[in-house]
Amino acid sequence: MRPRVLTVLGATGTIGVNTLDVVARHPGRFEVFALTGATQVDRMAEQCRVHRPRVAVMNEPAAAAALRDRLAEEGIAVEVRAGAGALTEVATAPEVDTVMAAIVGAAGLPATLAAARAGKRILLANKETLVVSGQLFMDAVAASGAELLPIDSEHNAIFQSLPRDFRGDFQAAGVKALWLTASGGPFRTLSAEAIAQATPEQAVAHPNWVMGKKISVDSASLMNKGLEVIEARWLFNARPEQIKVVVHPQSIVHSMVEYADGSVIAQMGTPDMRTPIAYALGFPERIAAGVPALELMGRQLTFEAPDMARFPCLKLAFDALAAGGNAAAVLNAANEVAVARFLDGAASFNAIADSIAHALDRLAGGMAATLDDLLEADRQTRRVTGDYLEAIRA
Ligand code: NDP
Ligand code: MG
């Protein structure tokens, strides 16, 4: 079997590290063409040492220069490139057949969309790409014949629980609804008053998953589930009312598909992202992921309704989905700005939902036909949200 040739976008992040962990378990099966990061030079140098990619890209030019020096000192022959254009180059290079899209945020959109247009097999972790550019992205996948395999654990679970030949027709497949499970995050049992006082340290302390900071805050606000609702809408061609959210604090059932005959098919497992990553890397074969076996003896699995009053971000995401057009791009950009400010200690936790509501009020309803429309909505929203956060702080 010829090895699969991989580019890992966001290799230095938590999904990237887990991806390379699975790759290292299967010598000969994968060849690493390119690894990309933004700022973490030490980690990228180590990854180059171990995986010997042809190219390493650092989004930050200073980080690229530091990496180049480091690799030269150690005599490691890896070509180092810098900047967003280089991300797109390694995502579309003709040698590459598989792209792990694991940059965080809308920053991942241009390279991921380029990979879709180039007809690659895309392992999609970067959910913000689908939130911002859903229709455009899915059209690009359909036009080029690209293959899309979801990495987000919920969507990977749904993918596994749908018929293999599912092509987005719920009626034909007898599918009634998709059930996304949510852990509820670290604030699930807190009062609204306590949530209002939440600190960044509390927000990033997720009970079940180790993740990057941005998605950890999204999990605390339930915006992560909101983004996932929008992601599911595009990945599976679901209508909003066909997507349900249920809180399942143990994170064992990763999501479910409900069928017309009353059957509900779920995928379960130990919460470890290497399972969905290995599923997508090996597809259609199952390959080892290094994940401990699921221990069910003596465990309780519980399910409860999400509380949209304490977690308004989830409701805002359903609202943005219903509004259509550029609304999801506005929601995403406002969230990215507010989460970054919250992590810097410059905004309260509740300011995240307030900023999103403000941005949707001001900017939703615009065009979303082209990538330029979406990038413009993203830019405008970042400006409006920055100003709003300054104003409420003053
Ligand atoms: P991390 O913050 O751990 O990693 C983000 C990666 O993106 C790093 O490699 C980082 O580089 C790079 N990066 C950051 N900003 C830029 C930029 N402007 N341009 C290019 N690269 C950039 O995030 P996660 O790995 O947790 O998440 C990645 C994506 O996967 C997100 O979209 C998230 O929603 C999704 N996801 C994550 C899950 C998880 O369990 N972690 C689960 C499901 C989905 P550097 O670190 O070198 O600065
Ligand atoms: Mg998820």
Q: Is there an atom of ligand 1 within 6 Å of 18 CB?
A: no
Residue 289: predicted pLDDT? 98
Let me know if 15 is exposed, middle or buried by CB neighbors in 10 A (0-12, 13-18, 19+): buried
Domain ranges of the chain: 4-150
Tokens of 16: 């990237």
Residue 208: predicted pLDDT? 85
Residue 1: predicted pLDDT? 80
pLDDT in tens, 326-366: 999 999 999 999 999 999 999 999 999 999 999 999 999 99
Mean pLDDT of 5-28: 98
Residue 139: predicted pLDDT? 97
Residue 282: predicted pLDDT? 98
The DSSP-derived string for 202-226 is: HHT--SS----HHHHHHHHHTHHHH
Which ligand lies nearest to the CA atom of residue 90 in the structure?
Answer: 1
Q: Are 267 and 255 in contact (CB under 8 A)?
A: yes
Indicate which residue's Cα is closest to atom 22 of ligand 1. Answer: 38
Q: Which residue has the tokens 């939440």?
A: 198
Consecutive H or E run containing 267: strand 264-268
Tokens of 108: 């991942």
Residue 132: predicted pLDDT? 98
Which ligand lies nearest to the CA atom of residue 82 in the structure?
Answer: 1
Residue 99: predicted pLDDT? 99
- The alpha carbon of 137 and the centre of ligand 2 are apart by a number of angstroms equal to 19
- Say how far apart CA 200 and CA 183 lie, in whole Å: 18
Residue in 154, 125, 152, 124 with CA at minimum distance from that of residue 253: 154
At a CB cut-off of 8 Å and minimum separation 6, what does 130 contact? 124, 137, 138, 230, 231, 234, 235
pLDDT in tens, 113-156: 999 999 999 999 999 999 999 999 999 999 999 999 999 999 99
Which ligand lies nearest to the CA atom of residue 225 in the structure?
Answer: 2
Quick one: pLDDT band at residue 320, thresholds 50, 70, 90?
very high
Return the ligand 1 atom nearest residue 63 CA.
47
Mean pLDDT of 76-96: 98
- The alpha carbon of 26 and the centre of ligand 1 are apart by a number of angstroms equal to 24
Q: What 3-state DSSP class applies to 240?
A: helix
- The protein residues having their C-beta less than 5 angstroms from ligand 2 (an ion) are 152-154
Indicate which residue's Cα is closest to atom 41 of ligand 1. Answer: 211
Q: Are 215 and 279 in contact (CB under 8 A)?
A: no
Indicate which residue's Cα is closest to atom 32 of ligand 1. Answer: 126
Please state whether the peptide bond connecting residue 284 to the residue before it is cis, i.e. omega within 30 degrees of 0.
Answer: yes
Indicate which residue's Cα is closest to atom 4 of ligand 1. Answer: 13
Return the ligand 1 atom nearest residue 36 CA.
9
CATH class of 4-150: alpha beta
Q: Is there an atom of ligand 1 within 6 Å of 109 CB?
A: no
- The alpha carbon of 366 and the centre of ligand 2 are apart by a number of angstroms equal to 28
Q: Strands 79-82, 98-101: parallel, antiparallel or unpaired by DSSP?
A: unpaired
Residue 394: predicted pLDDT? 75
Residue 73: predicted pLDDT? 97
Residue 182: predicted pLDDT? 98
Which residue type is seen at 256?
M
- The alpha carbon of 152 and the centre of ligand 2 are apart by a number of angstroms equal to 5
Mean pLDDT of 254-277: 98
Residue 244: predicted pLDDT? 98
- The alpha carbon of 210 and the centre of ligand 1 are apart by a number of angstroms equal to 12
Residue 116: predicted pLDDT? 98
Mean pLDDT of 1-7: 94
- % residues pLDDT > 70 (the chain): 100
- Say how far apart CA 351 and CA 288 lie, in whole Å: 42
- Say how far apart CA 333 and CA 130 lie, in whole Å: 13
The DSSP-derived string for 127-144 is: HHHHHHHHHHHHHHHHHH
Mean pLDDT of 191-213: 93
Residue 207: predicted pLDDT? 82
Mean pLDDT of 205-232: 94
Which residue type is seen at 32?
V
- The alpha carbon of 182 and the centre of ligand 2 are apart by a number of angstroms equal to 8
Q: Is there an atom of ligand 1 within 6 Å of 370 CB?
A: no
Q: What rounded mean pLDDT belongs to the chain? A: 97
Q: Is there an atom of ligand 1 within 6 Å of 39 CB?
A: yes
Q: Is there an atom of ligand 1 within 6 Å of 212 CB?
A: yes
- Say how far apart CA 296 and CA 292 lie, in whole Å: 12
Q: Is the pLDDT of residue 15 over 80?
A: yes
pLDDT in tens, 48-75: 999 999 999 999 999 999 999 999 999 9
**Cα torsion at 93, 94, 97, 101 (round to 10°)?**
20
Residue 226: predicted pLDDT? 98
